[in-house]
Amino acid sequence: MAKFNNPMKVITGVNTRWSYANVWEAKSINGGTPKFSVSLIIPKSDTQTVEKVKAAIQAAYQEGEAKLKGNSRTVPALSAIKTPLRDGDIERPDDPAYANSYFINANSTTAPGIVDADRQPIIDRSEVYSGVYGRASINLYAFNSNGNRGIACGLNNLQKIRDGEPLGGRTRAEDDFADLDDNDDFLD
């Protein structure tokens, strides 16, 4: 079976970290359409993923020129429109999770498929949280809505590769009680 090569689709590298992982239930922001979403933190050192994302943004721009032009006479320059690849050092300077990284906010109205490193579906919701590392399958596309024009990022699927330090200050129950001695019974 021949694989269709979509220049606007990217599979991120294994060191991509997930933040604001709303991947189990769609959430509405400011009364908008409920969506599944995740912020993908890509280390600047992962130049292969960064270059793939930049190429996909360019492909989405070229493919969506008519949409971006809208009723205008010309297509706005790529540098003049919103693009999803953002610099964590500039936009999130106070958040160490975003240091030396780019980030992309990806979302979808349909639930992403979520699998583990062996491509087995993850059923236990506690396995996926803000802070894990894994690949993401994303799609970049042009949009022109209510005067806003740019390139957006759709979320397709996620593959958890390994656990990471939970982001947002929340700890896992397994970690909170891991070092306690079971002999510290409160009935003693």
Backbone angles phi, psi at 166, to 5 degrees: -60, 140
Percentage of the chain modeled with pLDDT above 90: 78
Please answer whether residues 131 and 144 qualify as being in contact, where contact means their C-beta atoms are separated by less than 8 angstroms: no
The first and second tokens of residue 64, run together, are 């969506």
Torsion of Cα atoms, 47 then 42 then 54 then 78, to 10°:
-140
Radius of gyration (C-alpha) of the chain in whole angstroms: 19
- pLDDT band, very low/low/confident/very high, at 9 (cuts 50, 70, 90): very high
CA geometry: angle 155, 52, 74, nearest 5 deg? 85
Q: Mind listing the domains of the chain with CATH numbers? A: 9-176 (2.40.50.140)
User: What would the pLDDT profile of 75-108 be if each residue is shown by its tens digit?
Assistant: 999 999 999 999 999 999 999 999 999 999 999 9
How far apart are alpha carbons 64 and 18 in whole angstroms?
Answer: 28
The conformation of residue 97, written as its DSSP 8-state character, comes to G
